[in-house]
Chain A
Amino acid sequence: MNKVKFYSILLFKILFFNNIIFSQSCDYFLRGKILDSHDDSNLIGAIVSIQGTNFFSQTNFEGEYLINGICPGDYILVISHPNCKTIKKNIILVENKDVNFFLEHHINELEEIVLQESKISRLRKSVQEVSLNINEVNSYGSNTLEEAINNIPGASILKTGNSISKPIIHGMYGSRVGIVTDGFRQYDQQWGPDHAPNIDFDSFEILQLIKGAAALKYGGDTSAGSIILSSKRKLPKDTLFGRSSINLESNGRGGKINSSLEKSFSNGFYINGDITGKKYGDFNTPNYILSNSGFEEASFSIDFGRDQINKGWNVKYSNYRIEPGILKASHIGNVQDLFYALNSKEPKIINDFTYAIEAPKQLAKHQKIIFKYFKSIGNNSKLEIGYNYQENKRKEFDLRRGGRTNIPVVDLSLKTHILNASLAGIQYEDHNFEVGINGFFQDNFSTPDTGVKRLIPDYYKFESGIYLLGDYKKNNSFLFEWGLRLDYVAYDSKKYYYQSDWENRNFDVLYQDFELYEVFNQILTNPKFNYVNLSAQTGISLKLSNTSKLNFSYILSQRAPNPSELFSDGLHHAMAAIEYGNLGINTETNHKFLVSLSKNSKRFNLLVEPYISKIFGYIFIEPTGLKQTIRGAFPVWTYDNTDAFLTGLDLSSKFLISEKLSFDFGASYVYAQDLNHNEPIILIPPFNSYQRLKYIPREENWSFEITNQIYFKQTRFPDSNFIFDYIENGSIVSKTVDISESPSGYNRINAVFSIDLKDRKNIKSNLRIIGQNITNTNFRDYLNRMRLYASDLGRNIQIQLNFKY
């Protein structure tokens, strides 16, 4: 943040409380808020003036303006903001008036953190939501998702090694977390704990994280929450600008390069392109190399359209490809191999550093095309129609015999069509409504060329949803909000079962209707399921004082089982477990209460968010016995429903110690219990906290910050250990395979030094040196599934160069 901006914000604050500029005998007032028409965020520092008079007011942090002592009459209001198009409005004043105005606001590319942090952009106003500028997040390191999540208490990352990470919100992940890009839900094979979202986070500008299934517009089944990625609206101005960044990293000896270029015209046409590439070799822990942990990622997108403010259209194509290696030492054949791996301090396979990526590895490709159209109807309503096609191809390679290593063991192709239509901003008195419908068709195909039993069968999935959202706002200090959504979900699948499994699991009696015909020792079945899910959200937002605010929300969400929970069928190599889906799985229903209390004063910001939820029919996987194979007996895990109770608290705060120095503190804790089995739920983030000190000398062109992240040991985990017979010195002894125990707690220190380089012509450049795990601490993370085999990453130094032109 630059000096001018800092003082000007202070000035706005002062002005607001002293803005009786000119007094007359007349005593009417005019007040309200100035909002960004794009995302309803408050506009700070907008000026509302009455043309031809000395009356004016500047909006405060809440976007509020107030002009006192006006005589009755006809006036022209001029509303302006440094980053917006100025508008003029006629107003007839015969009584005190409360009026909100919308401006076309856009975050200025070069604006710094403060404005971003004070921007409260909301999808649902009674549910707290975190909004991050991806460009800013990026300055903490090259792994955008991870760095974003590190800044959000209540969110964590589930990892498989270092290149595969997926978000956890309030202790839940996978199908319970929705990821929305450009207004459409992302559909890759998101059910898998080792399937990272196939998205280039760098090609977006804003990341919003909503805890809880409040984003009803996009679905009612994501009980954990949603991550919404979007780009800024394009301005109808003749502009051409670009941005590039290069990251070079010591750990993995690789880097990332990202570049985007945007051209807009005054008639509203625009075209935008973005490209990202990443390449890393083997990463290392403080003590050894993680062999085969490198990865390659490449993506691009092209976006064009026309935005004429009151109507517009948009076409966007994006293409993403990632090829991550999987730690060699994690490929095991049976329970005994897992036992050895767990008892070995170091991985069994440590080779020299290489960029080569060999099996075991994954290869995922995602293509997406979007067509969108919108049109304003009347003063406030907006009609939006969009169609999206997504194609996800996922291959997994394993070490195979007989020269088959180049043939994937998993080869899935998922095609998804989505149709959305919505009408927002329907106003009736103080009520505001939005109504919309979604249609969805999905086709999953698993090629038989793998020569390995299909992990997930071929299926069609249909969904259709309808939602109605509303809010009632009497004044600026009280808002009541509600939403309802109804979804119909249907699966039509074709799956082969081994005759023996089909009978052993009693499916031949329970699901006789699904049976089609037999092929040798297998039976082809046609499981068909349909579900009707109801979801709802209601909440209030109360302004307690000028500096504090309370949100309270109740969310009901229902989720139909995903294909993996219904159908999965196979050996999970890295976990030495046979995983079975369950045709008898029912919908899970989550009731969640969220409270958020925020206090924002000049020197101190605090946000406290407790929540509590009860989930009926929570879908989980549990050990259910042993199965003999040619590789010995394997533990069998089967999906089932249970009841669960989750509660937790997220806290974040910011103290301005001086003009130059600030201190951030955040913490979160989740308690999760399986009520039917009376044991903790697996893979719940342990208590964690971050502390960050930022030093920004305003007159200088550099800044420095240091962050400490603390993760405690997770003391609450279920016991999933099992025993096997082991031959030791010529006798059989029973050994426990301890896969349950959580690793010890740890802390990690990261630092960022940033310096703006001399501007050259129209190019602004900035250099950052980022240090991660500076102390080179050796640790294992409970939420990294590779912790069974190896330690986590050691020190990493990144050099980042950013250019804006």
Chain B
Amino acid sequence: MGIIFFISCSKEDPDAINEQEFISNVIVTITSEDGEPQTIDWDLSEMNSQSINMKVNTNYNVNVSFLNTSDPTDVENVTLEIIDEADEHQVFFEFAEVSVNVSSASNDTKVGSRGVLINSIWNASSTGTGLVRLYLIHQPTNFNATTREGMGGFNDVAIDIPVSIFK
């Protein structure tokens, strides 16, 4: 009796949630001093495997930005949040099978002398193909560490991008 009454009334339609602080795209722009910029758009829905192409012993300016495009009418640039909270974020790169030196660029976001590596300079010391694992680390416990493990904190982003280094 009571049951039938209850069943006849259904739950109201809940509001859809647009996930905040969600990162859907990582955009890596690589520019040599003279060349055309390459843009790698790592999109969560496509899991892009475009390759970064670099010349050996050449400086490249690398810019990393993070977007939330889950609402196409309101694309959110998450990079701005990371710059705001630079004191607890660090971009970090680990390379496999290729050897690339990374340093903070002059236009990088800095906290004291530490560069967040949103803008960095890459220089490969030998040719080959491999990959870069790009991390966005939240609340690292040791910003000076040289390995991801030593850095502590937790990963907000960890994506792999193929890298080819030519002569």
A interface residue numbers (CB < 8 A to B): 331-334, 336-337, 340, 348-349, 399-404, 439, 441, 443, 446, 448, 450-454, 457-460, 462, 464, 488, 490, 492-494, 496, 500, 516, 519-522, 524, 526, 628-632, 727, 730-732
Partner of B11 from A439, A441, A494, A629 at Cβ < 8 Å = A494
> Closest approach, in angstroms, between the C-beta of B62 and any C-beta of chain A?
18
- Can you list, as one digit per residue, whether each of B135-167 has a CB less than 8 Å from chain A (1) or not (0)? 001110100000011001111111100000000
Contact B97 A732 (CB under 8 A): yes
Partner of A630 from B6, B15, B99, B157 at Cβ < 8 Å = B157
Interface residues of B in 68-83 (CB under 8 A from A): 70-72, 78, 81-82
A629 CA / B45 CA spacing, docked (Å): 9
Contacts of A403 in B (CB 8 A): 85
> Closest approach, in angstroms, between the C-beta of A576 and any C-beta of chain B?
10
Contacts of B81 in A (CB 8 A): 401-402
Partner of A333 from B3, B72, B156 at Cβ < 8 Å = B156
Known: A336-B155, A629-B44, A632-B155. A492 touches B96 (CB 8 A): no
Size of the B side of the interface (Cβ < 8 Å), in residues, is: 53
Known: A401-B21, A402-B21, A730-B99. A457 touches B14 (CB 8 A): yes
A488 CA / B72 CA spacing, docked (Å): 44
Contact A732 B11 (CB under 8 A): no
- Can you list, as one digit per residue, whether each of B24-45 has a CB less than 8 Å from chain A (1) or not (0)? 1010000000000000000011
Interface residues of B in 17-69 (CB under 8 A from A): 17-21, 23-24, 26, 44-45, 47
- 19 of the cross-chain contacts (CB-CB < 8 Å) are A337-B154, A348-B152, A402-B85, A439-B3, A446-B14, A452-B17, A452-B20, A460-B6, A460-B9, A464-B2, A493-B11, A494-B11, A522-B16, A524-B16, A628-B47, A630-B24, A630-B159, A631-B157, A730-B97
Contact B158 A448 (CB under 8 A): no
> Closest approach, in angstroms, between the C-beta of B140 and any C-beta of chain A?
10
B interface residue numbers (CB < 8 A to A): 2-3, 6-7, 9-21, 23-24, 26, 44-45, 47, 70-72, 78, 81-82, 84-85, 94-99, 131, 133, 137-139, 141, 148-149, 152-159
Q: Which 9 A-B pairs have the closest CB atoms?
A: A451-B20, A333-B154, A333-B155, A402-B81, A519-B16, A632-B158, A448-B15, A727-B94, A334-B155
Contacts of B7 in A (CB 8 A): 462, 490, 492
Known: A399-B138, A730-B95, A732-B97. A496 touches B14 (CB 8 A): yes
A423 CA / B26 CA spacing, docked (Å): 66
> Closest approach, in angstroms, between the C-beta of A93 and any C-beta of chain B?
51
Known: A399-B139, A462-B3. A520 touches B71 (CB 8 A): yes
A195 CA / B148 CA spacing, docked (Å): 32
Contacts of A492 in B (CB 8 A): 7, 10-11
Contact A516 B3 (CB under 8 A): no
Contacts of B154 in A (CB 8 A): 331-334, 337, 399
Name A463's closest neighbour in chain B (CB-CB): B3
Contact A496 B99 (CB under 8 A): no
Contacts of B133 in A (CB 8 A): 727
A522 CA / B2 CA spacing, docked (Å): 34
Give the most central of A452, A500, A630, A731: most B CB within 10 Å: A630
> Closest approach, in angstroms, between the C-beta of A447 and any C-beta of chain B?
9
Contact A441 B6 (CB under 8 A): yes
Name B98's closest neighbour in chain A (CB-CB): A730
Contact A452 B19 (CB under 8 A): yes
Contacts of B16 in A (CB 8 A): 448, 496, 519-520, 522, 524
Known: A402-B81, A727-B133. A336 touches B148 (CB 8 A): yes
> Closest approach, in angstroms, between the C-beta of B72 and any C-beta of chain A?
7
Contact A453 B2 (CB under 8 A): no
A90 CA / B3 CA spacing, docked (Å): 48
Contacts of A441 in B (CB 8 A): 6
Contact B3 A488 (CB under 8 A): yes
Contacts A333-B137, A630-B26, A632-B158 aside, 6 further interface pairs with beta carbons under 8 A come to: A333-B158, A400-B21, A402-B84, A464-B3, A496-B14, A732-B131
A446 CA / B13 CA spacing, docked (Å): 12
> Closest approach, in angstroms, between the C-beta of A514 and any C-beta of chain B?
12
> Closest approach, in angstroms, between the C-beta of B134 and any C-beta of chain A?
10
A348 CA / B153 CA spacing, docked (Å): 8
Name A419's closest neighbour in chain B (CB-CB): B2
> Closest approach, in angstroms, between the C-beta of A250 and any C-beta of chain B?
28
Name B44's closest neighbour in chain A (CB-CB): A630
Name A493's closest neighbour in chain B (CB-CB): B11
Contact B10 A526 (CB under 8 A): yes
Known: A439-B2, A500-B45, A630-B44. A732 touches B21 (CB 8 A): no
Name B159's closest neighbour in chain A (CB-CB): A630
Name B76's closest neighbour in chain A (CB-CB): A402
Contact B159 A448 (CB under 8 A): no
Contacts of B148 in A (CB 8 A): 336, 727
Contacts of B18 in A (CB 8 A): 451, 520
Partner of B13 from A332, A348, A349, A516 at Cβ < 8 Å = A516
> Closest approach, in angstroms, between the C-beta of B111 and any C-beta of chain A?
16
